[in-house]
């Protein structure tokens, strides 16, 4: 394409983006935000008009229009974040899709976030089925701070509330708004892990660094997810796929995003930890638990974890009756004062929380499963459009197939992992129990859907 044509194309894109920014002024902003948008719009429009009138050579015009487009896009991203921050993710998703004239699969119209609990107390956040999807990103950031404070993590590491607030908002800002992998999902995994800590002996077994690292990793474990999976990145040979040699592409990217925020010179988060050893332990644990959320490792992880759980049961039995313990059991059992064992457990638990929506109350579970199905379908459509191999099983067919897919996922992937967790920690028993009840409901709803 000639420079002149590229310039014209940039001008069309610029006009669209500027119109979009102008339209956003109708949303509810603080006076400062409104002023920021108005000032930027004024400058952008002036530059745009100057470019329109200019007749210098097309190559320099193209370059300037490109730079301007880049800056307008950055401003739009910031403004969208302000809107997203004050909204529930489901509303952001629907608004963005409507604006683009895109539709969604019919079951998305059937879901509504569960009722909100008013005046959230710490104890509400100990519930495995806390309805986080019913709250705005801003509220979820507040609940995040409540959890860290309840665990005395800010005081322990001398981190001011202001500084921590900035970290949480930065994490939130780096989440996009696809149907499923948004900040609400990040929060959901984080809060589910917290609920488990409160319900089990993890509360006393984990030290402060382990708790801090795992909580922050859970919160940021899907940062910058764009709603497409590893295979999609790989097929398209995206920059991220090339950076991570097609291996755990997204998980590596998420881990790098969170570490970057914690290393930000304005935040200097790592300096809050007492020494280099603790800083390394903190960083390594964050990376390890995020990499463990890679679904391609699920069965390998589960096999090792189950062997560990079995060894732990035998180990505990022998120990309680004062019998000798052999080396195999000593090496393979989970012994809670060994950091390497806690790390193995934490990797499995964060992965379990990441696929843990079938262990929540049915209304929460159906909400998440509908949105993940929507995201899969969107990827399949995008693959079709881009002319790459289409992930056929991601295409939404009908309600009975949806229920079938859910039964398969919950029974074969999620339940075996959570059953092991519940053997290790009795306080987690509610999770596989909920899942089994959900399986019954899924079967009933499938029959109803077949009758309709
Ligand atoms: P990801 O977050 O990368 O890793 C866990 C995966 O589990 C997630 O992507 C989805 O692909 C999948 N997943 C989570 N919840 C469900 C669900 N309810 N139904 C089907 N797949 C799911």
Which residues are near ligand 1 (CB < 6 Å)?
293, 295, 354-355, 357-358, 368-369, 372, 406, 409
Query: Which residue's C-alpha comes closest to atom 4 of ligand 1?
Result: 295
Question: Does 149 lie in the same domain as 249?
Answer: yes
Q: What is the dihedral of CA 391, 394, 397, 402, to 10 degrees?
A: 150
Question: Does 141 lie in the same domain as 59?
Answer: no
Testing ligand 1's pocket by substitution, the residue of 240, 295, 370 carrying the most ligand atoms inside 8 A of its CB is 295
Residue 283 lies in a domain: yes
Question: Does 164 lie in the same domain as 39?
Answer: no
Residue 97 lies in a domain: no
Residue 14 lies in a domain: yes
Question: Does 305 lie in the same domain as 231?
Answer: yes
Question: Does 74 lie in the same domain as 112?
Answer: no
Residue 248 lies in a domain: yes
Question: Does 315 lie in the same domain as 169?
Answer: yes
Question: Does 116 lie in the same domain as 70?
Answer: no
Residue 99 lies in a domain: no
Residue 25 lies in a domain: yes
Question: Does 174 lie in the same domain as 289?
Answer: yes
Separation of 258 CA from ligand 1 center, angstroms?
Answer: 21
- Cα(449)–Cα(366) distance, integer angstroms: 14
Question: Does 80 lie in the same domain as 127?
Answer: no
Q: pLDDT at residue 160 above 90?
A: yes
Question: Does 68 lie in the same domain as 26?
Answer: yes
Question: Does 348 lie in the same domain as 213?
Answer: yes
pLDDT for 414-433, tens place per residue? 999 999 999 999 999 999 99
pLDDT value of residue 266:
82
Residue 90 lies in a domain: no
Q: Which residues contact 421 (CB under 8 A, 6 or more apart)?
A: 348, 349, 352, 428, 431
- Give the DSSP per-residue string, 292-354: TT-GGGHHHHHHHHHHHHHHHHHHHHHHHTT----HHHHHHS--TT-HHHHHHHHHHHHHHHH
How far are the Cα atoms of 34, 55, 119, 219, 430 from residue 116, in angstroms, in the given order? 29, 58, 9, 21, 22
Residue 101 lies in a domain: no
Separation of 123 CA from ligand 1 center, angstroms?
Answer: 27
Q: pLDDT at residue 140 above 90?
A: yes
pTM of the model: 0.94
CATH value at residue 142: 1.10.1300.10
- Cα(335)–Cα(201) distance, integer angstroms: 12
Q: Which atom of ligand 1 is nearest to the CA of 351?
A: 5
pLDDT for 293-303, tens place per residue? 999 999 999 99
Q: pLDDT at residue 1 above 70?
A: no
Number of domains in the chain: 2
Question: Does 389 lie in the same domain as 293?
Answer: yes
Q: Look up the domain containing 206 and give its range.
A: 107-451
pLDDT value of residue 3:
86
């Amino acid at each position: 394409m000639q420079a002149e044509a590229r310039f014209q194309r940039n001008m069309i894109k610029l006009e669209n983006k500027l119109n979009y920014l102008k339209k956003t002024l109708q949303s509810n902003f603080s006076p400062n935000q409104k002023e920021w948008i108005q000032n930027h719009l004024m400058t952008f429009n002036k530059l745009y008009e100057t470019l329109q009138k200019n007749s210098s050579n097309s190559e320099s015009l193209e370059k300037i229009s490109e730079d301007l487009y880049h800056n307008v896009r950055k401003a739009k991203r910031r403004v969208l974040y302000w809107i997203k921050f004050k909204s529930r993710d489901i509303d952001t998703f629907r608004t963005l899709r409507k604006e683009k004239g895109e539709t969604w699969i019919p079951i998305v119209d059937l879901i509504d976030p569960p009722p909100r609990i008013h005046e959230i107390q710490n104890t509400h956040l100990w519930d495995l089925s806390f309805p986080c999807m019913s709250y705005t990103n801003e509220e979820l950031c507040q609940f995040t701070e409540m959890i860290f404070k309840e665990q005395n993590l800010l005081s322990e590491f001398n981190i001011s509330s202001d500084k921590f607030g900035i970290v949480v908002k930065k994490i939130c800002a780096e989440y996009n708004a696809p149907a499923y992998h948004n900040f609400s999902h990040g929060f959901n995994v984080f809060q589910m892990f917290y609920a488990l800590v409160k319900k089990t002996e993890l509360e006393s077994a984990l030290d402060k660094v382990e708790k801090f690292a795992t909580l922050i990793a859970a919160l940021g474990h899907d940062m910058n997810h764009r709603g497409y999976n590893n295979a999609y990145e790989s097929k398209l040979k995206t920059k991220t796929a090339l950076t991570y040699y097609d291996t755990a592409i997204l998980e590596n990217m998420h881990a790098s995003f969170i570490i970057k925020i914690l290393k930000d010179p304005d935040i200097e988060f790592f300096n809050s930890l007492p020494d280099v050893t603790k800083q390394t332990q903190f960083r390594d644990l964050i990376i390890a638990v995020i990499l463990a959320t890679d679904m391609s490792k699920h069965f390998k992880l589960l096999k090792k974890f189950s062997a560990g759980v079995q060894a732990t049961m035998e180990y505990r039995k022998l120990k309680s009756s004062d019998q000798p313990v052999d080396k195999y059991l000593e090496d393979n059992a989970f012994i809670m004062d060994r950091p390497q064992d806690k790390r193995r457990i934490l990797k499995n638990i964060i992965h379990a929380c990441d696929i843990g929506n079938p262990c929540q109350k049915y209304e929460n579970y159906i909400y998440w499963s509908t949105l993940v199905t929507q995201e899969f379908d969107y990827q399949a459509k995008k693959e079709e459009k881009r002319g790459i191999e289409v992930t056929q099983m991601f295409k939404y067919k009908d309600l009975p197939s949806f229920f079938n897919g859910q039964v398969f996922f919950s029974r074969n992937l999620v339940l075996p992992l959570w059953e092991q967790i519940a053997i290790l920690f009795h306080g987690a028993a509610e999770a596989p129990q909920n899942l089994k009840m959900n399986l019954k409901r899924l079967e009933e709803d499938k029959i109803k859907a077949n009758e309709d």
